[in-house]
A and B are shown apart, each in its own frame.
Chain A
Amino acid sequence: MHVPVRLGPAELKLIDQLTAAGAVAEAERLSGAGLPTRRVEAYHYTDLKQLLRTVPELAAAATEASVPALRVAGAYQLMIANGVVQETGTAPAGVIVGKAAGGVLSTRDDVVTRLNMALTKECLTLDLDGSVDPVIQIDRRTEGAAGHSTSAAKIFVADDSSAVIVETYAGSEQAHLGNHATYLALGKNAKVTHITVNLAAAKATHFASNEYHLAEGAQLRTLIINAGAALSRTQLFPRYEGAGAHADITGLNLVSEGQHADITMDALHAVPHTSSKPLFKSIARGRSKAVVQGRLVVARDAQKTDAKLMSQGLMLSDEAEILCKPELEIYADDVVCGHGSTCGQLDEDSLFYLTSRGIAKADAETMLVRAFLAELVDPIEDEALNEALTAVIEGWLAGK
């Protein structure tokens, strides 16, 4: 017997918004299924039905701009405000900036990406060719009164090209709902660093979904930082589609009192001879929750896949929770795949050693937290970018 799902105010509002946008099929789908609960494996620790209580009105076009939450010195700046791709200055060599209608992630059976696809009116497009010199920053923001805004970017990096792309998510201090998508395709032997920094307002909800396509020999490094928003979920969908493709997927949840941050990766090693090293870290203080889910799927043909998933958590308070769920789904027989996870407090012996040299306890703790994070930040070679990310982390450590 079919029992209809009881819909809450958030779901009803989303259904209205979908209907108004002409996405009738999506509206029907959501009416039937509702938002995912903990019974849906991918949302096990982030029960959207429970956590997403209200959805604000669709954001109107932005009329003002708040101070950028983070600006990388020397970067080429692009902006999407309330879903609208803003005009930009002259693009640097090797960069073609454009706009296209609609969203960018059409292939996933996932409520967050489906909502993004159905509601996004236009996307920023970037075509990168050669070794693109300045860092490219895409500043995504939700401005004005509390609003529901969706945005999208589609980035193609040509064969043998390289680029460093930073995306930041922020805006006015309101209870926004932001839902952002990135489609990033790396051509043969392309080398890309993709950094995303969620600095959304304290009361906001932040969703981001990044789909990566790696062709032969492509090398990707990511650093996904969740530092803002009351509720955030960043989804990563790397797809290794050419031999020799490799990614260092790294991510960091920084959660304080009242925050819930989730990084969920669902990776597909589709062909032989690809490798990945996902490394996720979480630091939680106060009453807060950090979630890391990592799923590695290795296709039947994808022999010689080498993938090692690691999740490390650091709890700075007794009420903090860090939840990790690895999942390996391996259909090939000649692979090296594994996962590990550690979770704990700062090491007492290390703390004692440092304090026994006269370093005050609080300073010693900060040193150890920095040490815990060094592995994520140190590989970011661009100096200005490294400094900007360090500033975000130091700001968090200082309690801001």
Chain B
Amino acid sequence: MTTPMLEIRDLTVRIEEREILKGVNLVVPKGEVHAIMGRNGSGKSTLSYVLAGKEDYEVTGGEVLLDGVNILELEPSERATAGLFLAFQYPIEIPGVATMTFLKAALNAKRKANGEAEMSTPDFMKAVKEAGKALHIDSDMLKRALNVGFSGGEKKRAEILQMALLKPKMCILDETDSGLDIDALKVVSEGVNALRSPDRSMLVITHYQRLLNHIVPDVVHVFSDGRVVESGGKELALELEAKGYAGFDEAAA
């Protein structure tokens, strides 16, 4: 069996003495797209933050392997340069940091970690322009400070732009569809689909079956009270839509 892209084993996580993740088990093989659905507060964003290495969380048990490497001891920047990418549910606004400066720093950090030379400014501009065009991102937006004054939908598109530029091998998309209008949803989904490849995996967190019509998952996981309670094919999302989460709570109990 080949090494999965992401393997989460019995992950338990606490925040301020409260257990939020209660033994998450999840395997995303290479090249696959998995979806996570689950009710508000069930711990989906917590899982995504813990994977990306946010400090506030106390990992009390379990393992997370990225392409066979345990990443729990790595700094967030090291996880990123190792190929992990989190598209935030709520991207952070950073006044005073120009979007282009940020994109260039991120891109070059990754290249440096891979032993590659820095990208020249013209090549960089070209790469951003191309990626931006595909996502219908207006170049004026990129002249502003990072995420500052971006609309909800613009922020989500900017996240996918970063993903397209950084070419991570494991993408986690935390509710990238929320706040998008119907057209933007299509554009963003196309952007995500364009990045699907045999050596890139994705974990798509969403509340809506609608997104999964655009980004068709290989596997759907139902998340409840800090763990995965059910996994199945894409039809599971439809079942969930019909029955609601209540039908799955027993499995959690």
Please say whether chains A and B are actual partners in one complex: yes
In the complex, what distance in Å separates the CA atom of A375 from the CA atom of B97? 11
Instruction: Name the 4 nearest CB pairs between A and B, nearest first.
Output: A371-B96, A358-B80, A357-B106, A358-B109
Instruction: Count how many chain B residues have C-beta atoms less than 8 Å from C-beta atoms of the other chain.
Output: 30
Are A358 and B92 CB-contacts (below 8 A) given A363-B109, A367-B102?
A: no
Inter-chain contacts of B113 with A (CB < 8 A): 358
The reply to whether A354 and B96 contact each other, CB–CB distance below 8 Å, is no
The reply to whether A360 and B77 contact each other, CB–CB distance below 8 Å, is yes
Q: Determine if B94 is an interface residue (Cβ-Cβ < 8 Å).
A: yes
* Size bin of chain A's contact surface: 20 to 34
Beyond the given pairs A357-B80, A363-B109, 19 more chain A to chain B contacts, judged by CB atoms under 8 angstroms and listed by A's residue number, are: A348-B55, A352-B54, A354-B97, A354-B102, A355-B53, A355-B76, A356-B54, A356-B76, A356-B80, A357-B102, A357-B106, A357-B162, A358-B166, A359-B77, A359-B106, A359-B109, A368-B94, A371-B145, A372-B96
Q: Determine if B211 is an interface residue (Cβ-Cβ < 8 Å).
A: no
Interface digits, B50-83 against A, CB 8 Å rule (1 contact, 0 not)? 0011111000000000000000000111011100
User: Shortest CB–CB separation between residue A137 and chain B, in angstroms?
Assistant: 28
Inter-chain contacts of A352 with B (CB < 8 A): 52-55, 76, 92
Please name the residue on chain A nearest to B165 by beta carbon.
A357
Contact sample, A vs B, 7 pairs, CB 8 Å cutoff? A354-B102, A355-B75, A356-B76, A356-B86, A357-B80, A357-B109, A358-B106
For window 57-72 of chain A, which residues contact chain B by CB distance below 8 Å?
none
Q: Determine if B248 is an interface residue (Cβ-Cβ < 8 Å).
A: no
The reply to whether A375 and B55 contact each other, CB–CB distance below 8 Å, is no
In the complex, what distance in Å separates the CA atom of A356 from the CA atom of B85? 7
The reply to whether A361 and B75 contact each other, CB–CB distance below 8 Å, is yes
Interface digits, A364-382 against B, CB 8 Å rule (1 contact, 0 not)? 1001101111110000000
User: Shortest CB–CB separation between residue A378 and chain B, in angstroms?
Assistant: 9
In the complex, what distance in Å separates the CA atom of A134 from the CA atom of B106? 39
Q: Determine if B23 is an interface residue (Cβ-Cβ < 8 Å).
A: no
In the complex, what distance in Å separates the CA atom of A360 from the CA atom of B78? 8
Please name the residue on chain A nearest to B80 by beta carbon.
A358
Interface digits, B133-148 against A, CB 8 Å rule (1 contact, 0 not)? 0000000000001000
- Cβ-neighbour of B92 out of A353, A360, A363 (below 8 A): A353
In the complex, what distance in Å separates the CA atom of A77 from the CA atom of B81? 49
In the complex, what distance in Å separates the CA atom of A360 from the CA atom of B166? 15
In the complex, what distance in Å separates the CA atom of A6 from the CA atom of B85? 66
Please name the residue on chain B nearest to A349 by beta carbon.
B92
Please name the residue on chain A nearest to B79 by beta carbon.
A356
Inter-chain contacts of A374 with B (CB < 8 A): 96
Are A358 and B91 CB-contacts (below 8 A) given A352-B54, A368-B97?
A: no
For window 97-120 of chain B, which residues contact chain A by CB distance below 8 Å?
97, 101-102, 105-106, 109-110, 113
Q: Determine if A350 is an interface residue (Cβ-Cβ < 8 Å).
A: yes
User: Shortest CB–CB separation between residue B104 and chain A, in angstroms?
Assistant: 10
Q: Determine if B233 is an interface residue (Cβ-Cβ < 8 Å).
A: no
In the complex, what distance in Å separates the CA atom of A359 from the CA atom of B101? 12
In the complex, what distance in Å separates the CA atom of A371 from the CA atom of B88? 21
User: Shortest CB–CB separation between residue A116 and chain B, in angstroms?
Assistant: 37
- Cβ-neighbour of A358 out of B54, B77, B96, B97 (below 8 A): B77
User: Shortest CB–CB separation between residue A185 and chain B, in angstroms?
Assistant: 34
Q: By CB atoms of chain B within 10 A, which of A349, A353, A361 has the most?
A: A353
Q: Determine if B95 is an interface residue (Cβ-Cβ < 8 Å).
A: yes
Please name the residue on chain A nearest to B77 by beta carbon.
A355
Inter-chain contacts of B76 with A (CB < 8 A): 352, 355-356
Inter-chain contacts of B106 with A (CB < 8 A): 354, 357-359
Interface digits, A241-258 against B, CB 8 Å rule (1 contact, 0 not)? 000000000000000000
For window 306-352 of chain A, which residues contact chain B by CB distance below 8 Å?
348-350, 352
In the complex, what distance in Å separates the CA atom of A368 from the CA atom of B145? 12
The reply to whether A356 and B52 contact each other, CB–CB distance below 8 Å, is yes
In the complex, what distance in Å separates the CA atom of A254 from the CA atom of B96? 18
The reply to whether A355 and B95 contact each other, CB–CB distance below 8 Å, is no
Inter-chain contacts of A375 with B (CB < 8 A): 96
Please name the residue on chain A nearest to B54 by beta carbon.
A352
Inter-chain contacts of A371 with B (CB < 8 A): 94-97, 145
In the complex, what distance in Å separates the CA atom of A374 from the CA atom of B53? 29
In the complex, what distance in Å separates the CA atom of A370 from the CA atom of B91? 20
Are A361 and B105 CB-contacts (below 8 A) given A367-B97, A368-B94?
A: no
Inter-chain contacts of A367 with B (CB < 8 A): 97, 101-102, 105
In the complex, what distance in Å separates the CA atom of A370 from the CA atom of B162? 22
Are A357 and B96 CB-contacts (below 8 A) given A348-B55, A352-B76?
A: no
The reply to whether A356 and B94 contact each other, CB–CB distance below 8 Å, is no
Are A355 and B80 CB-contacts (below 8 A) given A363-B105, A367-B105?
A: yes
Inter-chain contacts of A356 with B (CB < 8 A): 52-54, 76-77, 79-80, 86
In the complex, what distance in Å separates the CA atom of A349 from the CA atom of B54? 9
Are A350 and B94 CB-contacts (below 8 A) given A357-B162, A358-B166?
A: yes
The reply to whether B110 and A354 contact each other, CB–CB distance below 8 Å, is no
User: Shortest CB–CB separation between residue B181 and chain A, in angstroms?
Assistant: 24
Please name the residue on chain A nearest to B91 by beta carbon.
A353
Inter-chain contacts of A370 with B (CB < 8 A): 96-97
User: Shortest CB–CB separation between residue A372 and chain B, in angstroms?
Assistant: 6
Inter-chain contacts of A358 with B (CB < 8 A): 77, 80-81, 106, 109-110, 113, 166
In the complex, what distance in Å separates the CA atom of A105 from the CA atom of B139? 52
User: Shortest CB–CB separation between residue A200 and chain B, in angstroms?
Assistant: 28
Inter-chain contacts of B80 with A (CB < 8 A): 355-358
In the complex, what distance in Å separates the CA atom of A318 from the CA atom of B71? 30
User: Shortest CB–CB separation between residue B24 and chain A, in angstroms?
Assistant: 20
Are A361 and B77 CB-contacts (below 8 A) given A356-B53, A367-B105?
A: yes
Inter-chain contacts of B95 with A (CB < 8 A): 371
